[in-house]
Amino acid sequence: MTYVERTIPKISLKNKDQRREEIKDQLFYAAKNIGFFTLCEQDCPSRDDIEEMFQLSQKFFGLPHDAKMKTPHIKLLNSGFESCSQIRPSTGTADQKESLQLQYHRINQNWPAEEDVGREWREKTKAFMEKCQQLSNFVMELFAEALGYPTDFFTKAHIISSDTAQTTLRLLHYFDTSGRKFDGNFWRAGPHTDFDCLTLLFQRTGDHGLEVCPGREAHTDFGYSDKWTPVPSKTGDIVINIGDMLMSWSDDILKSNFHRVRLPTPDENQGDRYTIAFFNQANTDVVIQGPLKKYPPVTGKEFIEEAMRKNFERLQNVA
């Protein structure tokens, strides 16, 4: 396994409305090359908002297993709680983690109950999703403009309050590995690309392990090289990466690259690792096709279904 030093661009959002053009250039450059970049000095969500969301997440994961299983993962909706059940086609082993996936419009359907997480949990989580959406919209507007599309091209396809929404907030908890020995191909999260448009990832200072492997030319490619680069972790900053849906929608101009979270080595922090991901996925009824028509048109629903199908097909090939 080789490590290569690369710069993960760090882009400040200070006075972002006055610096729109400058930020647009920086985002476009980062998205065309490495597909990963870090946003900092944003007003919203603030560092306090992010820290509060981590506390809410820890509150949920601290519940007894039975309480967490009251909102089980529903594959068809890609929502709910799962533990050690996500098997990546790249590894054939289950990720060493548990997660809760939430969709804004399903707050009364598959979200933790007030009796378990307390009165304010849902409202605060909902407000955090709104803040994530607001920031995502700013980034998606700039990508649309940089690609020469109308400003609202992507944002009007991501309406989280609609019944057709697919955007998901995923709370992630990677287990403490102290004293544990893993034989074989085990990962906190095996190598994969995201299949959404844009992922906002919140990490905490010291919770290392995320690594990226740039170089993908087409969103349909499954191969990746062995040249990885660590992505720094800092509480309050926001790591953004491009997913397959946006790579396709930009005719492969913006790059969705492989990334993974490796298990800590004995001389690293082996404690619990918490992260939060906000996956922007276009509404089910939106048609996805870039202006060059490099790929046939598909709806948001078909895109996600196909991504899931491919992942499971590969899994069968591995097995």
Ligand X SMILES: O=C(O)CCC(=O)C(=O)O
Q: Least distance in Å: CB of 22 to ligand X?
A: 28
Looking only at residues 261 through 290 of this chain, which bind Fe ion when binding is defined by CB under 5 A? none
Which amino acid appears at position 287 of this protein? V
Q: Which does 141 bind (CB under 5 to 8 A by kind): Fe ion, ligand X, none?
A: none
196 forms part of the interface with Fe ion (CB under 5 A): no
Q: Report the residue number, 23 or 169, with the smaller CB distance to Fe ion.
A: 169
Q: Does 194 bind Fe ion (CB under 5 A)?
A: yes
Closest approach of Cβ 25 to ligand X, in Å?
26
Q: Which H or E element spans position 126?
A: helix 121-147
Q: Which among 309, 313, 316 is positioned nearest to 75, based on CA atoms?
A: 309
Residue recorded with tokens 């709104």: 130
Q: What's the closest the beta carbon of residue 189 comes to ligand X, in angstroms?
A: 5
Phi, psi of 260 (to 5 degrees): -160, 165
Of 78 and 284, nearer to ligand X (C-beta) is 78
What's the rounded Cα separation, in Å, for the pair 40 and 238? 7
- Residue 277 CA to residue 169 CA, distance in Å, equals 6
Q: Is beta strand 97-102 parallel, antiparallel or unpaired with respect to 227-230?
A: unpaired
- List CB contacts of 66: < 8 A, sequence separation 6 or more: none
> Of the ranges 1-9, 32-40, 193-201, 292-300, which one interacts with Fe ion (CB under 5 A)?
193-201
The number of residues that bind Fe ion (CB under 5 A) is: 1
Residue 145 CB, nearest approach to ligand X (Å): 27
Binding of Fe ion at residue 95 (CB under 5 A)?
Answer: no
Distances (CA, A) of 199 to 28, 138, 139, 194, 196: 15, 13, 11, 8, 7
For residue 179, the minimal CB distance to Fe ion (Å) is 28
Binding site for ligand X (CB under 6 A): 170, 172, 189, 194, 201, 203, 210, 259, 261, 275, 277
Residue closest to ligand X, measured at CB: 275
Q: 317 by DSSP, 3-state: which?
A: helix
In the bound state with ligand X, the residue whose beta carbon lies nearer, of 141 and 207, is: 207
CB of 213 to ligand X, least distance (A): 12
Q: Which is nearer to ligand X, 16 or 216 (CB)?
A: 216
Q: Give the span between the Cα atoms of 27 and 139, in whole angstroms.
A: 8
Residue with Cβ nearer ligand X (203 or 281): 203
Is the backbone peptide bond immediately before 9 cis, with ω within 30 degrees of 0? no
Supply the minimum distance, in Å, between the C-beta of residue 236 and ligand X: 15
Nearest to 207 by CA among 239, 181, 183: 239
Question: Nearest residue to Fe ion, using CB?
Answer: 194
CA distances from 93 to 221, 254, 298 (A): 21, 30, 31
Residues that bind Fe ion (CB under 5 A): 194
